[in-house]
Amino acid sequence: MLEDTYHRIIDYLRISITDRCNLRCVYCMPEEGVQTCSHDEILRYEEIERVVRVAAALGIRKVRLTGGEPLVRLGVVALVRALAHIPGIEDLAMTTNGILLARHAPSLAEAGLRRVNISLDTLHPERFRAITRWGELDAVLEGIAAAFAAGLEPVKINTVVIRGQNDDEVVALARKATESGWHLRFIEWMPVGDAAEQDWHARVVTAAEIRAHIEAELGALVPATVNGAGPARTYKVPGAPGTLGFISAVSEHFCATCNRLRLTADGKLRPCLLAADEIDLRAALRQGAGEADLKALLQKAIQAKPLSHHLADHIQVRDRAMAQIGG
């Protein structure tokens, strides 16, 4: 069992398998994209598998694959199959923008993926293209349907709410989720990368504000539970099949219960999403590190986890875009 200096149990590893993406969401990366890693800079699948085996031996029980967009990397189904068979890994999930999910959902489920989180910030096609810059809403809706059909449940929908961009849709999105059986989570926008340079406070819509808008239209929400709810505070409209979660990383951070590490696509282990500290696993892997060496680096990262992020102190993450970290 892995425990940090603040007595938090660390059992969750998020792995970015690529820094490339087929969209350019306004809160994730600039329209021109980011400087992507070369082929040699990205961790190979066998290196990712080795890290997960060592992490599982230490007590990591949950793994989530992210990007960029994980489904743009070739051979991702084979990676899922390899990770799903590692002893100790009890939950294997993926976060995706959903554009390519319709074609991959059946094979991902067959390979051992348990569930998916799908990004969806609007129900309007024109606004969807404006937020993602390149995307088509219908492709994501088809991906959501395919996830349900493949049994990748609970299907969670991630909605980043930005003032002046999509905050007028929170009620419509909540109504769609409750009627469709989606498990929708409203996420406060976080200043990372280029977004940290903006007047970001004015664009944050707090979880409390979002919930108030929804309850004013749909009535009082009641507490609910969802498998793998993570940091979301989860509720539902009484009698509805879907749930609504609220992730308040800015206004009411949940750092005291953080249970995760992040591995970037280029092999850097980050103890905190919103801090720039990194430990280089790729160099260790390619210099012949043994299992004991890798365990020591993982434990070093865990001991380096801060008590909390420092957004309240006006310290933002500018070293990487969100797509380069993995969210």
Q: Which domains does the chain have, with CATH numbers?
A: 12-325 (3.20.20.70)
| Alpha carbon distances (Å) from 278 to 174, 244, 313, 319 | 37, 33, 21, 11
Contact 218, 237 (CB under 8 A): yes
Cα distance between residue 322 and residue 320, in whole Å: 6
| Alpha carbon distances (Å) from 2 to 53, 88, 110, 237, 300 | 15, 13, 30, 37, 11
pLDDT at 265: 94
Confidence grade of residue 13 (pLDDT, cut at 50, 70, 90): very high
**What does the pLDDT average to over 38-53?**
97
CA 73 from chain centre, in angstroms, equals: 17
**What does the pLDDT average to over 45-69?**
97
CA dihedral 136, 139, 144, 145 (to 10 degrees): 140
**What does the pLDDT average to over 167-194?**
90
pLDDT at 253: 76
Residue labelled with tokens 């490339």:
20
Q: Rounded to 5 degrees, what are φ and ψ at 181?
A: 80, 15
Residue labelled with tokens 């991630």:
158
Eight-state DSSP code of residue 116: E
**Cross-sheet strand order for the sheet of 91-96:** 222-223, 233-236, 243-247, 183-188, 156-161, 115-119, 91-96, 62-66, 12-16, 260-263, 268-270, 279-280
Residue labelled with tokens 């280089």:
280
Tell me the pLDDT tens digit for each residue of 113-128.
999 999 999 999 999 9
Tell me which of 41-45, 195-199, 262-266, 295-299 is least confident: 195-199
Cα distance between residue 13 and residue 52, in whole Å: 8
What count of Cα atoms within 13 Å lies in the side-chain half-sphere of residue 323?
27
Scored b (16 or more CB within 10 A) or e, 287-312 reads eebeeeebbebbeebbebbbebbebe
pLDDT at 321: 66
Look up residue 29 and give its two tokens. 């990366």
The H or E element that residue 8 is part of is none
Confidence grade of residue 192 (pLDDT, cut at 50, 70, 90): low
SS3 184: strand
**What does the pLDDT average to over 12-17?**
96
Q: For the chain, how are helix, strand and coil distributed in percent, rounded to 5?
A: 40, 20, 45
Give the whole-number percent of the chain exceeding pLDDT 70: 91
pTM for the predicted model, two decimal places: 0.93
